[in-house]
Every structure is written in structure tokens, then in C-alpha cells.
Amino acid sequence: MFRLAMIAAAGFALSQSGAAAQEVSVDFGQHISIIGGCNDCHTVGYNESGGQIDPNLALKGSPEGFEGPWGKTFAKNLRLTVAKMSEDDWVKFSDTFKAAPPMPWYNVHALTDVEARSLYQYIKSLPGGNGDPAPDAIPPKG
């Protein structure tokens, strides 16, 4: 009986720790931005710094473009994107938007509600103002 009680208690503790990790929070949003690769393109200097995030520059987009058969695209300023939306609108947007390459929009569609809300709250919490929009895409030549 004691063994059964210990197993049940351990299971309850594990379920509670798992639930806590899935609560909406700014910290969890930062984690999502890192493991989701958001900073790779949307934060100037992130790759060159070995993954160090300057909160004042984080997710403001980049003037460095990505060229391919689609033309040339630029990483959007996510701060400006979320500034125009409520949290609920962001959750809907993150589940339905499409973007030009190399943005893996289909990965964003895989975010859970908690992940999308946490990412929104993280972006909204960043210091340093919202910044400027990224340059417009350039169509392919020819």
C-alpha cells in the first residue's frame, strides 16, 4: 500500500511540474523564441554573438535579405506585428498566416495556445521601443 501511495504521489508531482512548465509566461515565450529559431533571422547580431540576445534589438527584424527564386525577402519586425494585435488575434494569426521563404510559417502553425500566448507576451515585454519596419520584399529578377 505504501508503495502504491508513493507511486501515486510521484505521478502527481510529475504532472504538476509538467503543468507549471506549460503556463503562459514571458520566460516561456523567450524560450519558444530561442528554440523556434525566431532570433536567427528576426534579431540583428544574434548569430554573430553566438546566440546572445540583446533585449533592445530582439525581434525587431533585419535589413539583411534572403535571396532565392522568390526574390529577396527580409525578416519582419515582430514587435510591430504584435503591436497591432490583441493576444487573441496573435494566436489566430500564428495559426493561419503564410509568409515568403525562407520563413518556416508552417512551424509557427504548430505552436500550442500556451506557446503562442507566451511568445506574444515575451515580444510585448521587450525594451527599446518597437523599431522600424523591415524593407519590403523585392520580386525576382526577370
Summarised one tens digit per residue, pLDDT across range 18-49 is 445 589 999 999 999 999 999 999 999 999 99
The answer to the question of residue 35 being in a domain is: yes
Q: Render pLDDT for 73-110 as a digit per residue (tens, 0 to 9).
A: 999 999 999 999 999 999 999 999 999 999 999 999 99
- Which set of grid coordinates corresponds to residue 97? 498566416
Q: Give me the chain's average pLDDT, please.
A: 89
- Do 121 and 32 form a contact (C-beta atoms < 8 A)? no
Q: Does 72 map to a domain?
A: yes
CB 114 within 8 A of CB 20: no
Domain presence at residue 6: no
Domain range for residue 104?
Answer: 24-125
Q: Domain for residue 102, yes or no? A: yes
Instruction: Print burial letters for 31-66: b (CB count within 10 Å at least 16), e (below 16).
Output: bbbeebebbebbbbebeeeeeebbeebbbbbbeeeb
66 within some domain: yes
pLDDT band at residue 142 using 50, 70 and 90 as cut-offs: confident
Overall domain count for the chain: 1
